[in-house]
Structure 1
Amino acid sequence: MRTIELEDNQVKLIDQTLLPTEAKFVKCINVEELARAIEEMKIRGAPALGAAAGFGLAITVMNSESTKPEKMLQELKNAAGRIRRTRPTAANLFSALDRVMKTAEQNAASVEELREAVVEAAEAIAEEDIQVNQKMGENGSELIEDGDTILTHCNAGSLACVDYGTALGVVRAAREQGKDVSVIATETRPLCQGARLTTWELQRDDIPVTLITDNMVGRVMSEEKVNRVIVGADRIAANGDVANKIGTYTIAVLANRHEIPFYVATPLSTIDPQTESGGEIEIENRDPKEVTTLAGQELAPKEINVLNPAFDVTPAELITRIITEKGVFKPSEIKSLFD
C-alpha cells in the first residue's frame, strides 16, 4: 500500500489520524491543504514527509496558471516556504524541498519545461524512497537471526514512508528470507503511533506483534524478551546523534543497560551532515492537548503545565549501528559518507 501519491493534479494520502478504525484516503488540492495535513499528522514519518514536500511543489506547478517561468518560480518559493513551516525536525522534508527547488531553478527556460521538471523530480523522490527502503531492509536483515523478537518504537513502517518502511522494512525483509521474527511495539504516547499504526501494519502482513505501554520496556528487557531494538529516525547529525520520536532515548538507555543491540534504520536523506551534533537539532513542540486528552477525554486538570516535545535525541554512543541503503555503519562513520 502506498501511503502517498499524485493523482489528478492532487496529492492523495492515507489519513493516519483515523487508523486503525478507518483506512481512508484524502486528497489535497493545493499546498495549504497539504501543509495542514502535515501539521495535523494526517501524514507523518520523515521519508513520507519528504515525498509530501515534493508533491506539494508538484501540484503547485500542475495547477499554476502562470505564463511566465519567473512567476511560477515565485509560486514555488512561496509554496516551499509554507511547507518549511510545518514541522521543523524531519530532515527529509527540507532535503526534498531543496532538491526540487534546485531542479526548478535549473529548468526555468519555459513554464512547460519548469512544470515537467518539478513533477519528475517529485515523482523520483517517491519512487526512490521505495527502492531505498527495500535495499535498507536487505542490509538490515543480515543483523537479524531466526527466532528474534525485535522491539520498535513509534511507526517506522510503510505508513512513515511511501511504502515498505525503514525499521519495519528490516523486519519485512527478514520475514521474506524465511526468518521467524516477531515484534514488540510500544504504544508511543501521546499520539499512540505504535498502538494505532505499527500494530495495524504488522497484522495486515501477518507478522506476529505484541503491544506494550511505553513504561513496560524495562520490564520486557529484564525478562529477556527482546533480542534487538530497531527504530527509525527523523534527523541524524554528523556525529551520529539521532533525533527520533520522544521516548527513543529512554529505550536506548535501557537497551544499553541490558546489553541489547540498538539499531537505527534510516535513508541517507535523513542524515544532516551540516548539523554537527544532536544538540543543534530543532525539536518540535506540539499542542499540550495531545498530552492532556485522549480520544476527546480529559486526562488532566485544566490549565496544568505541560511539556510536549515530539522528539528526543539519542547520543551516538548508545547506538550499535545505523542501517542505510548503502550499508550498515557505526555512528562515527556516518560523516565520512558525505566527505
Structure 2
Amino acid sequence: MDKMMDEIVSKLVKDIRYGEIKGTYNIVVATINLLKYLINNANWITAKDLIEIIILNGKHLIDAFPLEASIGNMVRRILKIIREEYMLELKKKSDESDFQESLHKLLTAEAEDDVDFNISVPSLKPSLIDRLNEFELELETCSENITKLAPEYIESNDIIMTFGKSTLVEEFLKTAAATKSFEVIVAEGGPSLRGIEMASSLSEAKIQTTLLSDDLMFALMPKISKVIIGAHTVMSNGGLRAISGCGTIARAAKYYSIPLIVLLPLYKLSPLSVCSYKQDGFTKYASPLSGVISGANAALLERVEAYNPVYNYVPSDLVTLFITNMGSNEPSCNHKLISELYHPNDYKL
C-alpha cells in the first residue's frame, strides 16, 4: 500500500477509535470520503487495479472495526458501483472494433470470474466520481426519506412504545406528530438511561410522552398499538443488532402480537448473517461500572462476574416490518434489497 494512502487510512482508523468521528452516519460519510479519495488519487489504470485497491484498504478498515458493519457495507457498495460504471463505460465503446470482443465477453458473462476488468477505460474515473456524488446525495437524504413516511405508519390515537434514544425514531415520531395525535411510551433504556433524553425531547415537541422503567415493558405491552425502534445493523436474514434491551421489548411485542417496526437506512443493511454459535462475537461489552454495579463496594466486586453488553441480537421472526429510505418491506425481502446494493462476490471480503 502506498505510504501516503496508508497514512490516510490509518488516520481514519484513529479518528473513529478515539471518538473524533462518532455515530454510524458520520462513520459512513468518512468511509465514503476515504474511498472517493482513493479513486481520485491512487495509482490505478484498470478497473481491476481499482477494485484491488478498494478491497485492500477496505479490509484494513473492516478488520479495525468488525462491529461497524456499515464500513464494510460502504466498501461493498463502492465495489458494486465500480463494476456497474465499468460496464456502462465499456458499453459506450461498443462501436469501436477494439472493444467488440471484450464487450461481448463482458455482457454475456455468467460469473464474475468471466468478466475482464483489465481493459483500460479512461472515462471510468470521471464517471465514478459523478456516480459517487449522486450516492453522497442519496446518503444525505436517507433519514429524511424515512421520516417523511411516518404519517403512513402512525395513526391518530396510536400508543407507541420505543426503547432508549434513537435520533431517527425521534425524528420519525416528530414528523408524524405534525399531522397526527398519538401517545409515546419511552422505556428508559438502562443502564445508559438515554430514554430520559428521548422522552424529554418528544415532550418538548408537544407529543404526549410517558417515561417507563424497563422492567414494566412487558406489563404495559397489551396497551400498545405498535413498537418502533432503530437498529445498529440489519443482517441478511432479517435479524438485527440493536442497542441492548431491544431484544426484551421485541420479545414482549411478539408475545402480545404487537407489530414491531424497525427504521432502517439502507447503509445499515449488511449481506452478512449471524448464527447462534457466533452471537457471543456479535456485541461488545461496556464496563459493568457504567451504571450496572457500583464501584464503591470493592468486596462485592471481588465476588461478582458481571457483563454489560452494548447490543442485543433481535431475530428476524420478532420483526414485523422494516421502513427504509426506499420504502417498506418484510424481513424476508432483505435478500432482494441486498442483491440490488451489493455484488455477490463482495459479500465476503
Residue identity matched to 2:289 = T
Residue 263 of structure 1: how far off its partner (Å): 0.9
* Contact 1:136 1:325 (8 Å CA) reproduced: yes
* Equivalent-residue separation in structure 2 for 1:101 and 1:59 (angstroms): 14
Residues 326 and 74 of structure 1: is their aligned pair in 2 closer, same or farther, counting only changes over 3 Å? closer
Letter of the structure 2 residue corresponding to residue 283 of structure 1: F
User: Deviations 1:76-107 (Å, cap 9, x if unpaired)?
Assistant: 77764553245433432211133346768989
TM-score of the pair, normalised by structure 1: 0.66
Aligned partner of 1:138 among 143, 148, 151: 148
For the residues of structure 1 that align with 2:159 and 2:138, how far apart are their CA atoms?
29
Q: Distance in 2 between matches of 1:210 and 1:87?
A: 36
- How does 1:109-258 map onto structure 2 within 5 Å? 121=132, 125-157=135-167, 165=168, 167-176=169-178, 178-196=179-197, 198-199=198-199, 201-202=201-202, 205-221=205-221, 224=223, 226-258=224-256
Aligned length, in residue pairs = 292
Alignment deviations for residues 162-210 of structure 1 (CA, whole Å, 9 cap, x no partner): xxx2x3343233123x1113433333234344334x3465466554443
What is the letter of the counterpart of residue 226 of structure 2?
Answer: R
Q: 1:333 to 1:61 in 2, by over 3 A?
A: closer
* AA matched with 1:185: V
Counterpart Cα distance in 2 of 1:325 and 1:115:
27
Does residue 293 (structure 1) correspond to residue 290 (structure 2)? The answer is yes
Deviation at 1:248, TM superposition (A): 1.1
- Structure-2 separation of matches of 1:209 and 1:264: 20
Name 1:21's counterpart in structure 2.
none
SS of residue paired to 1:233? coil
Instruction: Evaluate the alpha carbon distance shift between residue 216 and residue 101 of structure 1 in structure 2; reply closer, same or farther with a 3 A threshold.
Output: same
How many percent of aligned residue pairs carry the same amino acid?
A: 21
Provide the TM-score with structure 2 as the length reference: 0.65
Q: Which runs of 5+ in 1 are unaligned?
A: 1-28, 158-164
The correspondence of residues 1-339 of structure 1 with structure 2, limited to 5 A, is 34-36=12-14, 38-39=16-17, 44-57=22-35, 68=43, 80-81=58-59, 83-100=61-78, 121=132, 125-157=135-167, 165=168, 167-176=169-178, 178-196=179-197, 198-199=198-199, 201-202=201-202, 205-221=205-221, 224=223, 226-275=224-273, 282-287=281-286, 289=287, 291-294=288-291, 298=295, 301=298, 302=301, 304-338=304-338
Contact 2:148/2:175 (8 A) holds in 1:
yes
Maintained 8 Å contact 1:140/1:265: no
More helix by percentage: 2
Gaps of 5+ in 2: 1-6, 87-119, 340-349
Structure label with greater radius of gyration:
2
Structure 1 CA distance for aligned equivalents of residues 63 and 196 of structure 2: 28
What residue identity is the alignment partner of 1:92? S
2:253 partner letter:
A
Letter in 2 for 1:309: P
Cα 1:194–1:335 shift into 2, 3 Å: same
More strand by share: 1
Q: 2 CA distance for matches of 1:268 and 1:137?
A: 14
Quote how far apart the aligned CAs of 1:230 are. Answer: 0.6
* 1:236–1:243 Cα contact (<8 Å) kept: yes
SS in structure 2 of the partner of residue 210 of structure 1: strand
Contact 1:151 1:183 in 2 (8 A): yes
CA distance in 2, matches of 1:315, 1:280: 13
Which amino acid counterpart does residue 191 of structure 1 have in structure 2? S
